Amino acid sequence: MNSKELFLIEGLAGEKKLKGRVSINGAKNAALKAMAAAVLFKEPVKLENIPDTDDIHTLTEILKKMGATVTWTDSEQGKYSKMTIDTSDISSTDIDKKMGAAMRASVVLTGPLLARFGNVTLPSPGGCVIGARPIDQFIEGYEKMGAKTIFKDGVYEMKSVGDLKGGDILFSKVTVGGTETLMMVAVLAHGKTYLSNCAMEPEIVNVAEWLNACGAKIKGAGTPTMEIEGRGGELLEAKTPFVTIPDRIEAGSFLILGALCCEELIIENCRPDHLKATIDLLKGSGVNLEVRPPDSGMSDLQIRVFNDPKKNTVFKTFNICTREYPYFPTDLQSPIVTFLTQAEGECSVDETIFEGRFKYVDDLIKMGADIKVMNSREIEVKGPTLLKELKDGGELCAHDIRAGFAVVLAALVGKGKFKVNNVHLIDRGYEKLEERLRGLGARIERVRR
């Protein structure tokens, strides 16, 4: 991680001339949760298809600091995609203050630690600056299962009073992290747990299926209600490795890039069934895309997105409202807004999940986009507009992982030369983005200030 790094990008001025293939990595938001779930096991667990992103490395360091052994098993071949985690020597349940505060996924770790050791401390969790990110749903769930939380000097102290027992928990807000975490606690608790109003994201199902294959009894993952039979404190057995599903947000990001910048882009190793809402919107807008079978030796599907270089295709605009899975994801809101600046007509974008996720819009406006900010959750976009180089060497800012991708995309679509700062935030979620874009013919380089 280096906060002094910038991307220098030469825009394509709307030409769709990038071409090639891109392979989708494992989903960071599933891999992080599987890493946390390693605490539920009595023996070392193997994890595969792990993305080599900064958030994964931060959680690795957090686990190591508590006494776990985390080993990348393919690093000798120059890769970081397979790891083994052994939590049998964990000697501290204090989540490191600095690292824990830097990432949201640290809150998920509280569940398995609490379930196994009965206590945990957590610094106020951070992650992307996309609005308030309370943890009340976790605290209320733990309370129902027999653990109390106090907040002292910027640190949450969670402690179980006796054995953790199954609970009947209704989430008053649909929460991905809350659903995953309470599910993990319930696996080791005494008795049955019922979770209602659960999030249904594929990453939750990915982790639940693995836990079940290792002895957990979780029913209903991927639906609004779950039932989990606790193991009364008995740890899980590492019967099978965790294999991370392809990252649907990374695939969706490249899909939007393909529509805006590519003559042809083949997106390999993806799960189009996890991207239905996005695919439907793009198809309806006039984007050419087709789902294709995998190449031999690969198991996941491909999406081909293409543009006729001789025709200037004009995409039709559409309204967006971000919602929980299976609807349009908040994590693709910013890349799709870049797309909408290039589509014809007027539309509104409603962000219903996070209230602080439009910070990047100022930069798009400075580039010439016609966007009205109605309030912290709603904007209106009118297109198409030519996005231009910023005056006086101005820089575009990666405010969070996804907004970072959105401004890189805007620079690629735009006319002129662009600088993007805060690249370390992009590195939290997209592996080697500039190398992969260069592979498609984009002019982008990483430099130190």
- Give the number of other CB atoms < 10 A from CB of residue 64: 13
Per rule CB under 6 A, is residue 133 in the interface with ligand EPU?
A: yes
Size of the site for ligand EPU (CB under 6 A): 26
**What does 153-203 look like in DSSP terms, one character per residue?**
TTEEEEEESSS-B--EEE-SS--HHHHHHHHHHHHHSBSEEEEES----HH
Per rule CB under 6 A, is residue 177 in the interface with ligand EPU?
A: yes
What's the count of helices (H) and strands (E) in the chain, helices before strands?
A: 14, 23
Stretch of residues binding ligand EPU (CB under 6 A), selected from 231-239, 270-278, 324-332, 389-397 = 324-332
On the CB side of 59, CA atoms within 13 Å amount to 33
| Least gap, CB of 29 to ligand EPU (angstroms) | 3
User: Which of 104, 248, 274, 399 is close enough to bind ligand EPU by CB under 6 A?
Assistant: 104
x/- mask, ligand EPU, residues 350-369, rule CB under 6 A, reads ---xx---------------
Shorter beta-carbon distance to ligand EPU: residue 136 or 435: 136
Look-up of token digits 């989540």:
95
Contacting ligand EPU within 410-449 (CB under 6 A): 429
C-alpha distances out from residue 267 to 19, 207, 392, Å: 11, 24, 37
- Give the number of other CB atoms < 10 A from CB of residue 445: 12
The encoded tokens of residue 390 equal 């910023």
Per rule CB under 6 A, is residue 105 in the interface with ligand EPU?
A: yes
Shorter beta-carbon distance to ligand EPU: residue 29 or 110: 29
| Least gap, CB of 181 to ligand EPU (angstroms) | 9
User: Which of 2, 74, 134, 148 is close enough to bind ligand EPU by CB under 6 A?
Assistant: 134
Is 444 within 8 Å of 396 (Cβ atoms)?
no
Per rule CB under 6 A, is residue 122 in the interface with ligand EPU?
A: no
Per rule CB under 6 A, is residue 137 in the interface with ligand EPU?
A: yes
Task: Name the active-site residue from 128, 198, 270, 397.
Answer: 128
- CA gap 114, 102 in Å, rounded: 21
| Least gap, CB of 269 to ligand EPU (angstroms) | 18
User: Which of 32, 164, 211, 413 is close enough to bind ligand EPU by CB under 6 A?
Assistant: 32
User: Which of 176, 184, 200, 238 is close enough to bind ligand EPU by CB under 6 A?
Assistant: 176
Per rule CB under 6 A, is residue 173 in the interface with ligand EPU?
A: yes
Per rule CB under 6 A, is residue 135 in the interface with ligand EPU?
A: yes
Is 195 within 8 Å of 228 (Cβ atoms)?
yes
- Listed in sequence order, the DSSP H helices in 330-400 are 333-340, 361-366
Per rule CB under 6 A, is residue 265 in the interface with ligand EPU?
A: no
Instruction: Please enumerate in sequence order all residues whose Cβ is within 8 A of that of 417, keeping only pairs 6 or more positions apart, or say none.
Output: 8, 9, 10, 11, 389
- CA gap 82, 76 in Å, rounded: 11
Shorter beta-carbon distance to ligand EPU: residue 86 or 331: 331
Shorter beta-carbon distance to ligand EPU: residue 103 or 261: 103
C-alpha distances out from residue 420 to 214, 300, 351, 373, 410, Å: 44, 33, 24, 22, 10
x/- mask, ligand EPU, residues 382-401, rule CB under 6 A, reads -------------------x
x/- mask, ligand EPU, residues 187-206, rule CB under 6 A, reads ------------x-------
C-alpha distances out from residue 52 to 66, 335, 423, Å: 21, 22, 15
Known catalytic membership, residue 214: no
Per rule CB under 6 A, is residue 330 in the interface with ligand EPU?
A: yes
Instruction: Please enumerate in sequence order all residues whose Cβ is within 8 A of that of 375, keeping only pairs 6 or more positions apart, or say none.
Output: none
First vs last C-alpha separation in the chain: 14
Where do contacts with ligand EPU occur on this chain (CB under 6 A)?
Answer: 29, 32, 104-105, 128, 132-138, 173, 175-178, 199, 329-331, 353-354, 401-402, 429
Which residues does the annotation mark as catalytic? 128
